[in-house]
Every structure is written in structure tokens, then in C-alpha cells.
Amino acid sequence: MIFDWQPVWLTLKLAGVSTLILLVIGTPIAWWLARSTNWYKQIISAVVALPLVLPPTVLGFYLLIMLGPEGPVGRLTQSLGLGTLPFTFGGLVVASVIYSMPFVVQPLHNAFQSLGQRPVEVAATLRASPWDRFMTVVIPLARPGFLTAAVLSFAHTIGEFGVVLMIGGNIPGVTKVLSVAIYDHVETLEYGQAHLLAAGLLAFSFVVLLALYLLNGRLNRNHQP
Amino acid sequence: MSSIEISLQSQLGDFNLDVSFETPARGVTALFGRSGSGKTSVLRAVAGLVKTPQGLVRVNDEVWQDENRFRPAHRRPLGYVFQEASLFPHLSVRRNLEYGWRRVPEQERQIPFHDVVELLGIGTLLQRTTQSLSGGERQRIAIARALLTSPRLLLMDEPLSALDHGAKQTILPYLESLHDEFTIPSLYVSHDPNEVARLADRMVVLEQGKVIAKGDAATILTRLDLPLAGYDDAASLLEGTVSSHDHTYHLTWISTHGGRIAVAREDLPVGRRARVQIQARDVSLSLRAHSDTSIINILPAKVIDTHDISQTQMLVRLEMDDGQTLLSRITRRSALGMGIREGMHLYAQVKSVALLS
């Protein structure tokens, strides 16, 4: 039995890339949600949280239509000479980013909120510009939140199945990630292979979450004022 | 224009802030009032932490805010000491101190790092984590951190109120020496008349978002029409200079143009400016200058006005020969018996004097 590493690498790459993108775009969204007093921030909150309740197939279905050759985003990407995103790795990244968004925005939002206004004000009276304050005070103090966000989005992306199947299909080396590979093996009655991947995924997820909880416990102790 | 001019108007819910005052750009100006009177709102607006719809903030010839301009907080050369020390928990004590210091261009740093550390006695704390400090130590670090930005205006929002009595007493001398050492004008928010008496040169009294009195601390603290004098611990402030030391009886004489005052001996250089506080309840009145009394400090004075503070007691405001004000709390019965009336000359017998600085 030859172990096929390809889905493993592909999954890790997808989770890594998605997490990085999510941290970059999720941070300003979470910061804005924590600071804004606008009435429409509740709408944004609800939109960001949608993937928590929607079946992945619904999300995947709409993404497929939007990104497809007849969809608005699809037309745009075609006119830019990028082709269409469905059934490509890029398409998977876009889907994962949307799908895992709440897992990044919510822990960051909580972290920013519990930080309060005071440390930022103190930094302002000590001559730090808004960007400077964010980098030297907010990010270090919200570190547990960033850690939780990164781990949750990574782990959640690894576990996704429905969205991937809808938008990525099952192309080896391009969109065939772990969860799809396991499904494949079960379909073709290769229970040995399926066991190997499933058990590996189970163990990996447990270790990651355990590490997160241990680390967060330690960070919180260190940050007692 | 060596002054600080502040004029702020804003409407927050049903709280209406409308405050204007100008104060010399030296020494300590206390913003005094009950909680909810708008003191902290004024300080936050001066710092640029909140934007009032209308406002003018001018420090010497620099306008920080007017109808057209608004400098954000980090562009205002000020130091802010909050009620709680608010040290950064992710930085060591030294890093906390350096946070503002590093952000000030080298040529604008006027206060040497070492001087601040020495003045506030925090040399041994530098390597510690902020979590290991006591409340008083944390507040000293916060004051040092603000000073190290070489501010042109120091804003202090009840920096002692979160501390217990002991810690308060240890920090007060640091605050006093700070104002002697560095010539940074400060706005000091407080609701404690004793703190104000010790630290402030001038006072702005706020009530419900409005200025109800402003002027010299010694004058304002003894005004009978303000709620301050009604306090059980109404007191007066006298300014003088150290004139001599009595080695035999272990006394230090402070002279004012209105008379000499003896206090327990303090090791102060002759000629130094001294400020004493006299509780109104420690001042009794007499029609003649007795020599057959145990009281040493007897000052000639003239009655300005009186104010009943209860059915039993009244406050008498006196003017000394040099124009300084002295408060005396006596019973209404004694006042009637002595025939006290405005303009009357008599002698104030002072039983106890506290040397403040």
C-alpha cells in the first residue's frame, strides 16, 4: 500500500494560505466591529457569522454560481485574463476564506473588546500614532486572540468538505484535499487508506487544539494586570 | 503669551459642558469639583482624547485646537497620568518608561531619563515586571513615564484616588518635588481639598459642567460662598518664607508679611518659600493679644465676613495684614459674646499648623 501524501500537502497549503489571508483581512474587520458604534455594524456581524449556520453546500453553491463563467465575479476574473476560479486551488482559497471568516473575526473581536480603550489612549498620550499603537500595544495585548483565531481557522479549513466538493471538485494535486480523499477511499472501499487519513486527521486536530488551550492558559496567566 | 487657555463646549446626553478659563503656564492649576462635575471630561478634551464640537485649547503660543484645527492626542506634547496607573502589562517597567521617551525626537527631550528615575525613586524597579509592583509604585512609574515625554503640559486625573492612605502619603512628596524640580505647568483634577491645598497654586472649581469659581488656591479654598469652606476640614493656606530656626525649642519660623508662624523644626534652608495649612477648627479668636497663653502663633487680623455652617458653629473669614486669608471656626455663641462684626480687628490664635512644602 503506497501512502499518497499529495492530499496532505495540499490540505496544509490550503489551510496555511487561507489562514494568512484571513488574519490580514479579518483583523481590520474585527477592529472595526469592536470600535464602531454604527448601527450597521450589526449587519456586518451577522454577515460574517453566516458561515457558522449555513450548510456548506449552500455556501458552495452560491460561490460556484458567483465565481462561475456566468457569475459576476467570474466575468470579472475572465475579463482580467485570470480565467474562472471554480475547480482551481485559487477558488478553494477564496471559498475557505469566506467559510472560515467567523473563526478569525470572532476571537479577534472579543480580544479587542476586552482590551478596552485605556491602553490605546495611554499610548496616544505617549506620542504613538494610530498605526504605532496598533502594532505595539493592541497586537501584543490581543495575542491570545490572534493565536486562537489562527489555530481555529487553520483547523477549520482542514476539516472543510462540503464547500470544497462544490467548488473544487476532486482533482488530484489541485483540489483533492484530505477530507475529499477520505470520502474517495470510502467510496472505493479502501478502508485501510481511509482509516489512515481519518485517524491522522483526528490526532492532528486534537493535538492542535490541546496546544492552543495550553498556550492560551499560559498567556492569560502572564497577562494578569 | 505664557498662559494656557481652555474653552470647551459640548453636549453629551443631558450633560452640558461649558468651561472656559485661562491660567498662567506655570505651577499647578487644580480642576476641582465633585464626581460628575466634568473635571475629567475637560482633561480628556485638552488631551485630544475626545473631540468637543467647539473648543479652544492653547498652550503658550501653540494652538492645539480651535474652530479649524484639531491636533490628535499623539501630536500634542503633553503628559497624561490616569487615575489607574494603566501600565502596559506586556512590557517591563523599563520598557514602559521608554515607550514615550523613544517616541520623542532626541533634540526635544528636555528631561534626562536619569533625573526622572531618581526624582521618583524608581531606580530599583526598572527590571521588574509591572505585575510585581504595589499600587503606589505603579503610579510612580506612570508619572515618570508621562514626564519622560518632556511634556509642555502635564495632565493628572486624580492620580492618588485609587491608592490607599499610606501610598497616597508616600506619593504626595514626589508630586510636590516634581513641581519644584521641573517647570512644567500642570492641570490637576481632584475632589480632595487637602490634596489641592498641598499641591495647587490656582484652582478652577467646576459644578455640573460649569466653572463656578477660579483664582488663587488660597483665596478659593477660603471663600465662604463656595461649598469648599463648608467642609468639616475647611482650611486656609498661607504663603511665607523660612526666616529662622530655633535650636533651643526645636522650631522653624516662617515669616509672612502678616506675622510670624512657628512650626515644628524642619530642615529647610532659610529664605525658602514655605506653604502652611491651617485648619479652621484650630483657629480661635481673641480681642487682645494674650501673652499668658500656651499658644505661640498669634496673628493680628481683620474680619471680612462670616458664614453659619450649622446652628452651633460658624466660619469667620479673616484678612491678615498682608492680605492673606485665614479661616476660623468658632461657635455662634462666642461670636455673639465677642460682638464679631465685619471690619473688626482681633487676634487669631492658631493652635496647630501643618507645613506643606
DSSP H or E run through B20 = strand B15-24
What pLDDT is recorded for position B206? 93
> CA neighbours within 13 Å on the CB side: how many for A125?
34
> What integer is the mean pLDDT of B181-197?
88
Cβ(B345)–Cβ(B253) under 8 Å?
no
A219 at interface of B, judged by CB pairs closer than 8 A? no
- Using DSSP's 3-state secondary structure scheme, residue A6 falls into helix
What number is the average pLDDT over the span B174-203?
Answer: 86
Q: What are phi and psi of B22, to 5 degrees?
A: -130, 140
Q: Does B78 touch chain A (CB under 8 A)?
A: yes
Predicted pLDDT of residue B259: 87
DSSP class of residue B133 equals S
Query: How many domains would you assign to chain A?
Result: 1
Task: Considering only the beta carbons, identify the residue of A118, A124, A143 that sits closest to B74.
Answer: A124
- The pTM of this model reads 0.81
Instruction: Say if residue B273's pLDDT is above 90.
Output: no
Residue type, B199: L
Residue of A125, A138, A141 best to disrupt the B interface, most CBs of B under 10 A: A125
Model confidence over A98-156: pLDDT tens digits?
999 999 999 999 999 999 999 999 999 999 999 999 999 999 999 999 999 999 999 89
Chain A segment 65-104 residues within 8 A of B by beta carbon are none
Interchain pair B88, A132: CB under 8 A: no
The answer to whether the CB of A113 falls within 8 A of the CB of A139 is no
Quick one: which H or E segment has residue B263? strand B259-264
Q: A118, A120, A127: best mutation site toward chain B, by most B Cβ within 10 Å?
A: A127
Is A137 an interface residue toward B (CB < 8 Å)?
Answer: yes
Domains of chain B (ranges; CATH) run 3-221 (3.40.50.300), 235-355 (2.40.50.100)
Chain B residue with Cα closest to A223? B89
Cβ-Cβ contacts under 8 Å, B82 against chain A: 118, 121-122
- Would an 8 Å CB–CB cutoff place B105 in contact with chain A? no
For A61, the domain range is 6-222
The verdict on residue A76 lying in a domain is: yes
The whole-number pLDDT of residue B227 equals 65
pLDDT bin (cut points 50, 70, 90) of residue A223 is: low
**Do the chains contact at A125 and B73, CB–CB below 8 Å?**
yes
Percent above pLDDT 70 for chain A: 96
- Give the DSSP letter of residue A71: S
In a domain, A151, yes or no: yes
Max CA distance (Å), chain B: 68
Check if A221 contacts B (Cβ < 8 Å): no
Q: In this complex, do B90 and A126 lie within 8 Å of one another by their Cβ atoms?
A: no
pLDDT band for position B343 (50/70/90)? very high
Please report, as a single letter, which amino acid is at residue B44: R
Cβ-Cβ contacts under 8 Å, A121 against chain B: 49, 73, 80, 82
More confident call, A132 vs B179 = A132
Closest by Cα among B133, B134, B126, B145 to B167: B134
Contact between B121 and B175 (Cβ < 8 Å): no
* CA A120 distance to own-chain centroid: 27
Put simply, whether B152 touches A (Cβ < 8 Å) is no
For A193, residues 6+ apart whose C-beta sits below 8 A from its C-beta are A1, A3, A4, A185
Q: Which of A87-96, A215-224, B186-195 has the lowest mean pLDDT?
A: A215-224
Residue B204 has pLDDT above 90, yes or no: yes
- Are B239 and B226 a contacting pair, CB within 8 Å? no
Beta-carbon separation of B47 and A119 below 8 A = no
List the grid coordinates of B95.
Answer: 520598557
In this predicted structure, the answer to whether residue B304 has a pLDDT above a threshold of 90 is yes
Give the CATH number, domain containing residue A163.
1.10.3720.10
Asked whether residue B1 carries a pLDDT value surpassing 80, the answer given is no
Mean pLDDT of chain A: 89
B99 touches chain A (CB under 8 A): yes
Burial of B325 (0-12, 13-18, 19+ CB in 10 A): buried
**What pLDDT shows up at residue A97?**
94
Q: Do B74 and A125 touch (CB under 8 A)?
A: yes
Task: Quote the ipTM score.
Answer: 0.80
Q: What is the pLDDT of residues B11-29, one digit of tens each?
A: 877 889 999 999 999 899 9
- From the list B49, B130, B149, which residue is nearest A126 (CB)? B149
Q: Is residue A219 scored above 90 in pLDDT? A: no
| Total number of residues shown for chain A | 225
Q: Which pLDDT tens digit goes with each residue over B133-173?
A: 998 999 999 999 999 999 999 999 999 988 888 888 888 88
Tens digits of per-residue pLDDT, A28-64?
A: 999 999 988 888 889 999 999 999 999 988 988 998 9
| Burial (CB count within 10 angstroms: exposed 0-12, middle 13-18, buried 19+), residue B267 | exposed
Antiparallel, parallel or unpaired: β B345-350 and B297-308: antiparallel
Mutate: best of B64, B78, B83, B103, partner A, most A CBs <10 A: B103
Question: A126 and B78 in contact by Cβ < 8 A?
Answer: no
Q: Would you state the pLDDT for residue B170?
A: 82
pLDDT category of residue A225 using cuts at 50, 70 and 90: very low
pLDDT digits (tens, 9 = 90+) for B60-87: 999 999 988 999 999 999 999 999 989 9
Closest residue in B to A219 (Cα–Cα) = B90
Q: What is the pLDDT of residue A111?
A: 94
Mean pLDDT score of chain B: 90
Average pLDDT over residues A208-212: 85
Distance from CA of A145 to the nearest CA of B (A): 15
| Higher per-residue confidence, A220 vs B199 | B199
Judged by DSSP in three states, A15 sits in helix
Contact with chain A for residue B159, Cβ under 8 A: no
| Contact indicator for B293, B302 with CB cutoff of 8 Å | no
Other C-beta atoms closer than 10 Å to the C-beta of A181 total 21
What whole-number distance in Å separates Cα of residue A181 and Cα of residue B121? 67
Residue A1 lies in a domain: no
Chains A & B: contacts with CB separation below 8 Å:
64
Q: How much of chain B, in percent, has pLDDT values that exceed 90? A: 57
Statement: residue B231 has pLDDT above 80? no
User: Which residues in chain B touch residue A140, judged by CB atoms under 8 angstroms apart?
Assistant: 90
Query: According to DSSP H, which parts of chain B are helical?
Result: 39-47, 93-103, 113-119, 135-147, 165-181, 193-199, 217-221, 227-230, 332-338
Q: Round to the nearest angstrom and report the end-to-end CA distance of chain A.
A: 56
> Residue type at A15?
A
Contact A128 B99 (CB under 8 A): yes
Is A135 in CB contact (< 8 Å) with chain B?
A: no
How far from B288 is each of B249, B257, B281, B299, B300, CA to CA, in Å? Answer: 25, 20, 20, 11, 9
**What does the pLDDT average to over B78-102?**
94
Cα dist from B228 to B190, B218, B305, B346, whole Å: 13, 12, 16, 25
State which residue of chain A sits closest to B86, comparing Cα positions: A119
* CB atoms A122 and B80 under 8 Å: yes
